[in-house]
Amino acid sequence: MIWKLVEKIEAKATQWYHQIHNNPELSGEEVETAKYITKLLRSWGISVRTGVTGNGVVGIIEGKEVNGKVIGLRADMDALPIDEKTNLPYKSKKPGIMHACGHDVHVANLLASAYILNEIREKWNGRVVLIFQPSEETLPGGALKMIEANVLDDPYVDVVIGMHVSPELSTGTIGYKSGVFMSSTDEIYIEVKGKSGHAALVKEFIDPVVSSAAIIINLQQIISRRNNPIIPTVLSIGKVIANGRTNVIPSLVNMEGTFRTFDENWRNEAKTLINEIVYNTAQAYATTANVNILSGYPTLYNDEKLSAEIINFIKNNLSEIKLIEVPMRMTSDDFAYFALQRPSFFFRLGTGNEKKGTTYQLHTDKFRIDDEALKYGIYTMSSIAFGFLNNQINI
């Protein structure tokens, strides 16, 4: 039944995806995207709440009987500050802004799932909460703000489902990982101060460049000597600005980096160690330092019982889907905040097709998806919702 509805709506869903890809909007600026979503939902008679924490949109579909389970389906909406280099006929109209992370696909996927569930609402009981979330790409993220706006409490949502495109998986494939799935992420900002001077007059300056180099090296001891080796962890400094010259030692060095891991206790401990190492190393080189660690998204955890139920449901009912277990990912997503509040399941939608040239990685200027992949995401999300509301999936 649902597969036939997917085939019916597939062409429209592809048009929605192309339209949103063609008109990307950055985090916090998703005004036209929100209007587009709202117009479609209302045209189907779905109740809509707009302006949720800015540009968020929440729709509610009621089944034959309102009393029953409630499932939340989430899609993020924002694009990235990247200049698109594809030759797609629907490539971004806006220089320097691109849907390079597939959020346009996520929105089209949720719109089509909403259409299908609304069409068959007489065949299930309960409610579906449609969560179109802004600002996933920019800290502190839109998920936490939407939770604070009670999107999970009015009505009370029992479980939340989300997805993300994955070009490394082939079209027709759904990737899953029960339990810990995606890493936490924190941004590190370090300022090292010394005394500027002529590079030849070594007694007259205090060198923040050498001090910064030592800090970078010493920070790696957190990974190799202080971390439990069974906990995957990354600490990388990706930006160093020392604005001197061949013969000028600057007075200031600024550095930026990222810290990612899969254990919240270790995450907190490591932040303390970062501060200690930076301050102590700076002091050893007669410099001073300031550290600012901007806390990002927590570890994303897929509820193990819910995951097992969904995986079993897909295996037994969705023969069109190729299901594959994937490893933990060192990338992050603020869907993790939903997973902290309710049992949740976040899956990966395969969009890769080498013949069609859709294997470019996320966050690159040539990223694109195989349009054929969209129907498998729609089928999976709408089927999970239908199965949950009809007690084929339980927690």
Instruction: Check the CA dihedral 276-257-25-106 and report its sign.
Output: negative
> pLDDT at position 10, please?
97
Eight-state DSSP code of residue 373: G
pLDDT at 372: 97
When pLDDT is averaged across residues 171-186 and rounded to a whole number, the result is 97
Backbone φ, ψ for residue 165 (5° rounding): -70, 150
Mean predicted confidence (pLDDT) in 248-272: 97
Whole-number Å distance between alpha carbons of 145 and 333: 14
DSSP secondary structure letter of residue 223: I
By three-state DSSP, how is residue 329 classified? strand
CA nearest neighbour of 179 among 323, 315, 350, 306: 306
Q: Which domains does the chain have, with CATH numbers?
A: 2-182+299-389 (3.40.630.10), 186-295 (3.30.70.360)
What percentage of the chain has pLDDT greater than the value 70?
Answer: 100
Strand partners, 258: 187, 236
pLDDT tens-digit readout, 214-247: 999 999 999 999 999 999 999 999 999 999 999 9
pLDDT score of 68: 93
Model confidence band, residue 277 (pLDDT cutoffs 50, 70, 90)? very high
pLDDT at residue 314, rounded to an integer: 98
Which pLDDT score is estimated for 367? 98
Cα 186 versus chain centre, distance: 14
pLDDT at 23: 98
The reported pLDDT for the residue numbered 177 is 98
Which residue, among 69, 67, 104, 99, has the nearest Cα to 81 in the 3D structure? 99
**Quick one: pLDDT at residue 226?**
95
* pLDDT tens track for 74-110: 999 999 999 999 999 999 999 999 999 999 999 999 9
pTM tops 0.95: no
| Order of all β-strands in the sheet with 70-76 | 47-52, 56-62, 127-133, 70-76, 159-170, 344-352, 173-176, 322-325
pLDDT tens digits along 7-61? 999 999 999 999 999 999 999 999 999 999 999 999 999 999 999 999 999 999 9
Across 131-136, average pLDDT: 98
One-letter identity of residue 217 = I
Task: Write the burial class of residue 364 (CB in 10 Å: 0-12 exposed, 13-18 middle, 19+ buried).
Answer: middle
Q: Where are the beta strands (DSSP E) in the chain?
A: 47-52, 56-62, 70-76, 127-133, 159-170, 173-176, 179-182, 186-193, 197-198, 233-242, 248-249, 252-261, 288-295, 300-302, 322-325, 344-352
User: What are the pLDDT digits (tens) for 297-317?
Assistant: 999 999 999 999 999 999 999
CA–CA dist 367, 285 (Å, integer) = 44
